[in-house]
Structure 1
Amino acid sequence: MGEEGRLPLFETKEAKGRTAYRMFSISIFVGICLIWMYRVTYVPGVGIGRWAWLGMLAAELWFGFYWILTQSVRWRPLAIYLSDDGGSDLTFYALLEASHFAKDWIPFCKKFKVDPRSPSAYFAQAFEPLDSHYKDEWSTIKKLYQEMEDRIQSVVKLGQVNEEIQAEHKGFSEWNLVLNSRNHQTILQILIDGRDPNAVDNAGFVMPTLVYLSREKRPQHHHNFKAGALNALIRVSSEISNGPIILTVDCDMYSNDAQTVRDTLCFFMDEDKGEEIGFVQYPQRFMNITKNDFYSNSFRVITKVELSGMDGYGGPMYIGTGCFFRRESLSGTKYIKGHKTDWNKRAQRDGSETVDELEDRAKVLASCSYELGTQWGKEMGLKYGCLVEDVTTGLAIHSRGWKSIYFEPTREAFLGLAPTTLLQSLVQHKRWVEGHLHIFLSRHCSFIQGHGKIKLPHQMAYCIYNLWALNALPTLYYVVISPLCLLHAIPLFPETSAYLFGTIDCALNLLGITKSAFTITVKIADDELSKRYDQEIMEFRTTSPIFTVLATLAMINLLCLGGAIKRVVMDDGVGVESFVLQFAQSGLWVLINLPIYEGLFLRKDKGRMPPSLAFTSTALAVLAYVMPMH
């Protein structure tokens, strides 16, 4: 095809329905402004009601500001290295077994176009074929996999690799010098050398290089967690293979689509825009999401709307997994327009150098002292000093002029495991929001680090997540003060507001601009944790401060709603028009908390809330209930 007729390898298009969404957003903004005007214009006189009113104004100012912040993204809708940071010989043994199995598995996948190429995932969902030729090979490969799986499970159950197995590979001798998982030398083993002509699978094709790495750890050296492990991996890989593209995935994830690498290269190798792309981010997806995703592990708004929206300003942030990097973008290099990548550049190796000599030379790059006095963790590699180093790393790459791509293919590229208990999910969120707030309060804040380097909407998009934690304060105020004011007959909203916003919301639903999303499905079952998760029954069980807060807030709303209804009934409904919206608000929170009430008082299974937690939360709620507000 001639130069004029050449098609790009990829194309970015703006989403449909932007005009309708912008009209919807403008109506929301007008509503927010009207609420602010009402708060400022009708401030009550001196008393508790006045302070409650002003507190609501402060909360609503924050909610309005945060909503405006979110519009920045909604307005514009390889060699293989395994880093074992635990330094376990059991992990090394499993990887060694996998390297042997791969000689049969890879040809089988190529011949029959197998997807997904994770044998565990494939055999969990595949049925035995009817075709006799395919059936024989399928049965043979499945038997080989099960035998490998049994050997690994036996070793794990035993807790150690027996001497007979250790004698099969020199790598096991490394563990003779390991004191514990936090105090050991660098362990580096090249299990498959892709440049060795003898490193072929059973069909005769060259196999990819496979490397095991456990970086050096010493008590006197801070190891910088995941970022430190990945930086060691980046340096070691540059010495052994030096591939221009680096994929990072978490240990609980697997590739669900064999075409993912090819699709990604279409972005990097596009002749028009490929050279400016620093990384390609795929959405984080999970294989064990329940039908209604009752722990909200899918992050639909983030993955479907916000990350896509960031594409309009320079690309999505790095979310820690399922991401392909251009090696140059991770090395601290700034994007220079017109630069061309040499896709054939590989690590230069002396033909006389043995694998053992290469391993010894590369081990130095994963030592504790290597980074001292260097820019690693600062301007090179992944950033140090933050719980969400992935976000600060992505921002640094964007600030150096690189762009990123968010690609959400029809078939999920990578699948992992989502938390299966409420506490696990909440703890994960706690870690994220803590790390993001730390970013906002540091020099890594997008308004500081990105100033003059990335567009203002891009800076705002990063802050959507940086300010997650601060949403808790106005939300907590709303959840506590509003029902208490309802209980004590302190009006907080105008008499007609419920009908006005109800009419607007109904009209928007009828026009198809918005959809009603509030649905509650309550199921009760008596079984073990995994079965309760499959049946979408919330798991409490543990006595946690997080659950105490949730249960107390739920009880406050229940008691206050009951007390307010009692007052209205006894007063024959006098003055109820001033509290319509507060009744609706408190009633909604009670409905949302139905699973908590069940966990407190109705359920008898092991996943219910402990009696001590039920007593504490109820006592605290009663205390708030009887507290005077006049």
Structure 2
Amino acid sequence: MARLHSHHIHPRAMLNRIHFFFYSAAIIALLHRHIAAISLAATSSLLFLADLTLAFMWLLSQGFRWRPILRQEFPHLLRQENHQLPALDVFICTADPIKEPPESVVSTALSAMAFDYPADRLSVYVSDDGSSELTLFSFMEAAKFARYWLPFCRENNILERSPEAFFESGDAVGEAGKMKALFEGLREKVKAAVKRGYVALNLVDSSEEKIFLNWKKFTRRDHPSHIQVLCESRKDRDIAGHPLPNLIYMSREKRPSSPHHFKAGALNALLRVSEAMTNAPVLLTLDCDMHANDPRSPQRALCYLLDPDLAPNLAYVQFPQRYRRINADDIYGGELRRIFLIGSRGLDGLHGANYVGTGCFFSRRSLFGPPSAATASNYESKGCSFLRSELVLQEAHDAASCRYEHVNDWGYQIGFRYGSLVEDYYTGYQLHCEGWRSVFCNPDRSAFLGDAPRSLYDSLGQTRRWAVGLYEVAFSGYCPLLYGTRKASLITGLCYMHYALWAVWCFPITIYTLFPQLALFYDKPLFAKVSDPWFFIYAYLFLASYGQDLIEFMEVGGLIRRWWSDQRMWVIRGITSSAFGTLDFIISKIGLLAPGFNLTSKANEEEVNTLYDSGKFFFGTSSPLFISMGTIAIINLTSFIFGILKAVRSIGTMDEMFLQLLLCGFVVTNLVPVYEAMFFRNDAGRMPRSVTNASILLTITFFCVGRMIS
């Protein structure tokens, strides 16, 4: 049998290892100097601890560079070899019709229904954790639209099969114009339903019964289960006479007395409901805004899942998260290439890529125990089931009950894992510790495309939530440094620990953006003079680190200006979302605050979009996150101006304070958008005046405290 894929180690792996030894020597030398010259002064001790933290995080990150893998798959060989394609269940989760507009969720589901895949082996499940009538109504209309959309895509060989994305890409004429009119009609019906405040839902199974539901009858945290089969492959046909894939809507039961475990709980409910209805051996998880961009993505994943050498212990095939409508400079670093591309490629050479929550094809059996626990024959498709039969629906409703998990190990030994707000990271990590492997599949054409946050507050809110979830794993009984290094491998455990401590960057970043600047203002040198040989150690560590990062970023398709935005957001996150995420976790651990799951808004706001597309940061709201950012920005600007003036007036100051001036100028350059928003802009996205005033007051406080200490 022909090989369905190939792989090779990245040619730069050996250079990475050589660089590791040279850089390690420089770090050891710097730490030795710290120890030899350390004093009881608080600033000296803090700088030593900051450098120690940076060195530790750098060491943890080296696993990603040790053996990165490049892969290629050959999906055309599946047809040549007459492979029987297995059944595929697609899981899509949504929770809020306001922040996640139903028409976007519908487009994601339609793009999956339009895969180049046998319709009788494809099922799309939608989990609505908001129990929203509006979402259900939208999908009922989507089931009707699918009868026209799927044959249109198939007959015209359309690659972009999300109607929302397809119609945004250009003017629709001819038959495409008719499709656009139908889709706009769907949107108008949804908008009209919102205005009415209730929806008359016509059941798709041709029954004359109508049901009227009050939107406020149940809250998001208290409602019964609801499962509705909107399309059934055995029965429903498109306008060309071909069967439609199964489309099933599910809203699991939720009660205040039962923990619902956020997205992980929704995925586990989908896992059980799909087991009762179709039980496909292959699963695909998709975020509600992450639509399919390549109709043959399932075949690419199957090039690995059907490989007899890989299949026995292959848990999943992960595609990278990629985004559409990213502005030219990617001002919020939304692509997160270090995590979704560089990191995944590096882990692929170890135990396998980490699970990132979307665009991931699972072997169903991997979610029910270690590789030795079950054979593929235990997870055979139920494609012949009558999905609308009373028996099947009753079994599905039982599986969607919040009581189902009370007497078993769901979320702890089987299924998607509980215990962290970042259920994707935690689930992939646990699977690797159980002995499963994974694969990173990164084709030239993006398999899936989503929407990145378009306001700074949403972007920081998302990473703040991640910080809390990652800490929950780091300080649990499954700490990657202790548990992962034993159960998976040493280097794999170190890589997962690097992610688990992602927010720890806040400590060295905050120190290096605050204390050297205050010392500069009061003429207190902290680093080596330019004439001192130790200066070259500092220069080497900075340039080598940033140079390697730039090379890696550009290797995965990044541009220099996007790299600059990405590293700028690394600084900004360090003094905002990472710092506050760390504080949130500490407070929750002492019992004062329970971490929650706040959705990132997927709604399009005209002002936000306009500023984002023009490359301007959108602040627009008062937040402690922005106060910390504004304070650091003003301190650095003030110290930089004073430092330059002193260097001009005093001979020798430049030699003695050059590194502090350089650091201060570097931070100022990174925070230029903050100064613009605070002092020069008048649009709706400017920094609120209250935030600017609070930042100025805090700046004065810091300088007064610095004066007393100095």
TM-score under structure 1 normalisation? 0.89
RMSD (Å), alpha carbons: 2.9
Structure 1 position 98 matched with structure 2 position 142: yes
What corresponds to 1:341 in structure 2? 376
* C-alpha contact (below 8 Å) 1:190/1:359 kept by paired residues: no
Give a deviation string over 1:114-138, Cα, whole Å, max 9, x none.
Answer: 1111111112214446xxxxx4x33
2:640 corresponding residue in structure 1? 561
1:56 aligns with 2:90: no
Query: Which moved further from structure 2: 185-194 or 233-242?
Result: 185-194
Correspondence for 2:685 = 607
- Whole-angstrom CA distance in 1 between matches of 2:218 and 2:204: 18
Cα distance in 1, alignment partners of residues 547 and 382 from structure 2: 61
Moved more, 474-483 or 257-266: 474-483
What is the CA–CA distance in structure 1 between the aligned matches of 2:485 and 2:404, rounded to whole Å? 32
1:309 partnered with 2:346: yes
Query: Which amino acid is 1:380 matched to?
Result: I
Between the aligned partners of 1:360 and 1:505, the Cα distance in structure 2 is 62
User: How many Å separate the matches in 2 of 1:209 and 1:306?
Assistant: 35
Q: CA deviation at 1:162?
A: 3.6
Query: Which of these residues, 436, 453, 456, is aligned with residue 402 of structure 1?
Result: 436
2:19 paired residue number? 24
The 1:354/1:104 distance shift into structure 2, 3 A limit, reads closer
The equivalent of 1:595 in structure 2 is 673
8 Å contact from structure 2 (residues 26, 537) kept in 1: no
1:189 matched to 2:228: yes
How far is the alpha carbon of 1:285 from its aligned partner? 1.4
Q: Is the 1:392–1:444 Cα contact (8 Å) retained in structure 2?
A: no
Give aligned-pair identity as a percent. 33
| Offset, 1:520 | 7.4
Change (3 A) 1:144 1:509: closer
Give the distance between the partners of 1:396 and 1:368, measured in 2 at CA. Answer: 24
Question: Does structure 1 residue 576 correspond to structure 2 residue 567?
Answer: no
Deviation of the 1:399 alpha carbon: 1.7
Tell me the matched-pair count.
Answer: 605
Helix, strand or coil at the partner of 2:513: helix
User: What one-letter code is carried by the residue in structure 2 that aligns with 1:30?
Assistant: A
- In the other structure, the counterpart of 1:483 is 517
TM-score (norm 2): 0.80
Greater strand share, structure number: 2
Which residue of 2 is the match for residue 221 of structure 1?
258
Q: Distance in 2 between matches of 1:510 and 1:480?
A: 24
Report the Cα distance in structure 1 between the residues aligned to 2:329 and 2:194, rounded to whole angstroms. 35
Does 159-168 or 316-325 show the bigger shift? 159-168
**What are the residue-to-residue correspondences of 1:437-586 with 2, within 5 Å?**
437-495=471-529, 496=532, 497-498=534-535, 502=539, 519=564, 528-570=607-649, 572-586=650-664
Please tell me whether residue 149 in structure 1 is matched to residue 149 in structure 2: no
Separation in structure 1 between the aligned mates of residue 221 and residue 303 of structure 2, nearest angstrom: 41
> Deviation per CA, 1:197-256, whole angstroms, max 9, x where unpaired?
x32222222221111100111222221111111111110101110000111111112111
Sort the Cα spacing of 1:520 and 1:453 in 2 relative to 1 into closer, same or farther, 3 A. closer
Extract unaligned runs of 5+ from structure 2.
Answer: 69-87, 89-122, 555-559, 569-605
Structure 1 pair 508–193 and aligned structure 2 pair: CA distance change class (3 A) = closer
Map Cα deviations across residues 255-289 of structure 1 (whole Å, 9 max, x no partner). 11101011111110012223321011111111121
Q: List gaps (5 residues or longer) in structure 1.
A: 1-5, 130-134
> Cα 1:623–1:508, aligned 2, differ >3 Å: closer, same or farther?
closer
CA distance in 1, matches of 2:224, 2:551: 60
Report how far residue 67 of structure 1 moved. 0.3
Alignment check: 8 A CA contact 1:97 1:148 kept: yes
Matched, 1:87 2:87: no
Distance 2:565 2:407 in 1: 56
What's 1:616 paired with? Answer: 694
8 Å Cα contact 2:485-2:494 kept in structure 1: no
The 5 Å alignment of 1:378-397 reads 378-397=412-431
User: Does the aligned pair in 2 maintain the 1:166–1:172 contact within 8 Å?
Assistant: no
Deviation of 1:510 after TM superposition, in Å, equals 11
Does the Cα contact within 8 Å between 1:494 and 1:578 map onto a contact in 2?
A: yes
Q: Secondary structure at the match of 1:173?
A: strand
The equivalent position to 1:207 in structure 2, one of 230, 237, 244, is 244
* Whole-angstrom distance in 1 between the partners of 2:544 and 2:338: 23
1:108 counterpart = 2:103: no
- What letter matches 1:372 in structure 2? H
Give the letter for the 2:192 counterpart: S
Contact 2:290 2:449 in 1 (8 A): yes
Looking at structure 1, the residues matched to 238 and 64 of structure 2 have their Cα atoms a distance apart, in angstroms, of 47
- The 5 Å alignment of 1:112-261 reads 112-128=156-172, 135=174, 137-162=175-200, 173=211, 175=213, 178-194=217-233, 196=234, 198-261=235-298
